[in-house]
Each structure stands twice: as C-alpha cells, then as structure tokens.
Structure 1
Amino acid sequence: MSQSFVPPLDLQSLLSPHREAIAEAVSEVIASCGYILGPKVEAFEQAFAAYCEAPHCIGVNSGTSALHLATRLLDIGPGDEVITTPYTFASSAWCVSYQGATPVFADIDPATFCLDPAAVEAAITPRTKAIVAVHLYGHPCEMDALKAICDKHGLALIEDAAQAHGARYKGKRVGSLGNMTCFSFYPTKNLPCAGEGGALVTDSDELDSHGRALRNHGSIERYFHHEVGYNYRMEALQGAVLGVLLPHLEGWTQARQRIAHRYHELLDGLPLELPREAEGCESVYHLYTVRAPERDKLIANLKEQGVGTSNHYPRAMHLQPCYEGLGYKEGSMPVAEKAAQQAVNLPMFPTMTDEQQDRVCAALRAYFR
C-alpha cells in the first residue's frame, strides 16, 4: 500500500481531466477581449439557476459580495439586527456589519452544526429584520422551522449556501427555499472557479433586476447611476471555468456522498462523533467533520501518520476580537464553542480513492488503540 501523504483536499486530481476544456473556454474569452460579464457569465447564470431550481442567478465576484448584496437588497441598515450562526466563516456576519446593522448570534444544533431554530426564536427582538441561515459543511438547515419563524415575525430569510451547492431539503434544492441564496465558487468549494467568484440566486424578478444594477455600480444604462452601487461583477474568465465544470457537479456530489457513507461504515465504533444527515436532508458533504475530545492531539498524530486534516472553525464568530463590542463572552454559545474545540475535517474530495480512505481510517484506529 502506498504511504504517500493523504491531503485534506486534492484540487489537481479533480481538475486535471478538465484542463483542455477549461483552456479552450478561457481562450475564447481572451480572444474576444470581453473580460467582464458577457456571454460566458450569462450562460453560466442561466445554467446555475436551472440547477438550483430557481428562476434567477446573478453572477458576482465572491460569495462575500453575494451576501452583501442580499442584505443591501433587503434594505437592512443601522438599527436593524440580523440573526445568524456563530459557527461559520466571517462573511455570514460581515454582510450584516457592512450595512451598519448588528449581527446577533444564535447557537447551533449539536448534530448538524446548523442554526438551532429554538435559539433563533429566543434571539428575536423588535429590531430583528432577517435571518442568515448557513448550510454548514454541505448540510441544509432546518428550513421549515426557520421559515415558520420568519413568517411569524415578518422576517426575511437569506440562505448562505457557500458550502452546499446541490444540497436538498425535503426534495428541494438549497437556492429555492429562502428569499435569496448566496453561493461561493472559491477554489475549495464543491463547485470551484479559478479564483474568486460567487452568485446570488432568487425567485424574485424585482430582486434580480435590482441586484444586477447594484453589482454593476448601481447602473442599468452605462454611465447613468440611479443609486450608489458596487463593483461586484463576475469576470468572464470565471464564468467560462464555471460553465465547463458545472455539468460535473452532480457526479462530484455523488462521489462525496459515497465517500461519506463509506466513512460512516469504516469509523463506526470509534470514539468519534460522526456527521449524520437530519431527516429530510441530503448533505453534499463539502467537509466530513468529526468531533474528538482531544482534537489538537488527534490532528498532530494524523499528520505524523501522513494524513492531512483541516479545522473549520477554531474560534466562533461571537468570540472574535472584531465583535468584542457586542458583549458576548465565553459560555454565551456553548454548543458552538464546544464544536470549535472538538471539530476536525477528515480528507474529503470527489477523487479520493478507497486506498486513501482506508489509510485515513487505519490511522484513526491506530490512534485510538
């Protein structure tokens, strides 16, 4: 058996079969000299909207920009509060802060790492305007409960699906469940581009037309600016790459699910908390995240055995220095804080071989012996 290092992610093996098609699509963009938006981006927008089972997709330059557009489109501003998870990447909160509003954190479900609806309801005040529901690690949030809360209190619901391309909740794709859904195509994501990229998906004609203007300097007609906008346009090169790779996403998702289910079987019985899908949810396993009481010791041991890991996220957002002014303390979000101390991501990528996975599991068994 080969003893080569098993990486947490192997982009080269994933993209190598598609290099010629990517190069051809990129060459077409270069030959056209149309580097911003244009036909490649428009074609991808249409294809990705169809994939998400939604009418509209707005291609932008990052997932962070997509989230910011969502809060701007909802007229969130100073004095408003938006509830989100403390166990996420910073952009889920940045989009609130960018608008001068206040992010309010609610604790997570210990089984799924997603927002706990009961904690969300407890965090609502008269100033609450929206919820940003993060489908973390590729697992959908409990959307029925969150939508019921939004309906009860008159709130908007933004899906942060940066890690959940193609995930399903009760048969429906994420992207068709809230008011707007935000995606990232950062190279490590389930659908990667060749740099930064993102998208905002919606079923609203009004939000679509307004969002397209805002991403393009607030302009519908060139050099006429009806409001202050942003330079959030997707580059044609990224649209070209995404257009080549999108048809392969479903196959990659099935491979991730197969690998995850194999992990379930091979790791059963070890003193680890394994990820499980909640009823009605279909995860796309952006990450395969387990919990271990002595996480850092485990990471060091696996590295010595030639197994790479990653850690999303070692410090919850409510304890980040940038949000000290919000008044949260250690113990404010006990479930998220425990996850930050115990969670570790095992190698997970669609081209992972059974041999590589066997090595990971053998290393874990050796550690626990």
Structure 2
Amino acid sequence: MGIESSCDETGVALVDASGSATPRLLGHALHSQIEMHQAYGGVVPELASRDHIRRVLPLTDTVLAQAGLPLSAVDAIAYTRGPGLAGALLVGSGVACALGFALGKPVIGVHHLEGHLLSPFLSADPPEFPFVALLVSGGHSQLMRVDGVGRYELLGETIDDAAGEAFDKSAKLLGLPYPGGPALSRLALQGDPQAYKFPRPLLHSGDLDFSFAGLKTAVLTQVKRLAHASPEGPATLHLADPLNAQQKADVAASVQAAIVDVLVRKSMAAIRQTGLMRLVVAGGVGANVLLREQLGTACAKAGVRVHYPELHLCTDNGAMIALAGGMRVQAGLADDGPVGYPFDVKPRWPLSELGGAIAA
C-alpha cells in the first residue's frame, strides 16, 4: 500500500510488486485539493493538512474495495517521507505507521521524487534499466542516469526556478487561476509560440543544468510592456488585466515553447553524453502535450526509446509511492528508511541523500 500526502493531493493505492513480473496497479484513489486552494491563489499548508486527515481513511477503504482485498492482505505500507509540507507529510506518516503497527507489517518511508522517477514502471510500456530520466515536477527539474533502484547519478539540475515554477509564475503574471501551469498550457493552444522571443537560459552552457528565473523576468518585462501599450491603460496590480485575450494566449504559447525547447535539448544532450538509448520522463510537467510531442520527435530521429507514466500518474499519487516502496523491498533497500514506527518525515530531503544510494 502507498500513501501520498506531501502537498495538495491525497493518494492511496495498492500495487503488486511481487516476483519478477511487471508491477500491477490493483487499486488507486486520489483526492485533489485544487478547488479548496483556488480561493487563496496557492496551497495553504494548514488547510492541506486538515483535508488529508479527512480524506486518507475513506480513500484507503475505496482502494481496498477496488482491489477486492482485505487490509490484512497488505504486505507492507509505503508513505511519502519527504520532501513536502511538514504537516501534510505527518498525516501520511501517522496513518502508515498506525496501520503498520496494527498489522505487524513493515513501513517504508519513500522519497517523493523517487516515486515520480519510478512511476513509468506502472505504464503500459515500462522501461528497462539503465536509462536517462528527465524529472520535471513542480519544484524540481533534474536529469539523472538511472542504473537500477537506488542507483541514481545526478547529471544536471535547476540552479534556481524549476520548469514547473516557470509555468506557474508566468501563469500568475497573466492572471490565470491556480494551478497556473495547466491553465497556461491550455491557453497556449490558442496562441502563437513565435509571437515573442523569450530566452532559453543555459541552453549553450555546455552542462546539463537548468535555469528558468531569467525566463520569468523576461515574461514580466514583456507583460508590462504590453500592458502599458494597451489602450486600456498602464498595468495595475494584476499585470495582465489590460492585455487582450490574444496577447495573453501568445505570451502563454511563447513561454511554453521556451521551456519545452530547453527541456528537450538538454534531455537529448544527456542522451548523447551517457550513450544510453532510453529516456524516461516523469513528474507533473511530463504531462505537457507539447513536451511529449517534441521529445517524441527528437527521440525518434535519434533512435531513442522514450517512456512516460500514464497521464493519471503524472501528478502526485499513491501508486507511485506504493511502487517505489515495493521496488525498494525487492531490491533489498527497504532498510534505508526509519526503523520501527516513528512519525518520521523529512520536509527538506535532497534526492542525493537517499540512503547513500546516489552514484558518484
């Protein structure tokens, strides 16, 4: 069983990761708090924690009913140990430890990003080790070489804003509702991606690191310029108010094109650097349609296989946590977590500190 409660989504799932067969998703339930947080323009940690408390046990009952299994059939319970919001993480940790103690079953603290990293193994087209992974979630943009469970080598990462943050912050400048990234991607479908030439930070840096803070600044400058040029008058508190619908769509399309261009070209550079011929894309931004299209085209030209998690597993979910826990058990790495049943969480937990398993 996997329990995810790191931020604004409560997820519970059951995964069969036994034996050498491909892991199977037996049951999966998810509650998103998006509607609750929209009124505040972002996640309110205290509200998130309280909502996790209300949702997690009903979701657990739903998952067990889907799988047609009693709670006693669960062999181990995995929970998101970090990173994330401390209060939200403690909800998942508390429930997992209580269930583990009651059942006499082991409890495994899973790194949230490792869950994303391994999530494509639940897809209809699972990858094989080794591969290059592009991990692009809300606050993370990383390229990694993955040789097996727990065997990760960091190739490049963001030095400031991540791709997901660039999407969200640009959306906020355009006055789009929370969550901004998906809203910007939808609006971009109506715009011209060549309308505005936004920078591609670190594209020619010679390394595999990312930087999107400068892109956000360029978007701010462009929105201000358009707002002041608008017949409705200068920019107000909501910078995008004076922009017309087409201007907003063109900015959105141009921003998305810049972000995707960097992600695709850096990913292909990582493929060339490692000599591997398999790419895995994971994390919420991995659901972006343009990113999938352009990566698919680039990989096809290079003869590289590309794998994605199913769309419903791109966002935070319990299935990826259950899978990561199960794969760690199979790899003999479950002992990397806390011993016993402590309510143990790590709100700040670099992937490089994951049980000392990162390759040098």
TM-score after normalising by structure 1: 0.26
Greater RCO structure (CA 8 Å; 6+ sep): 2
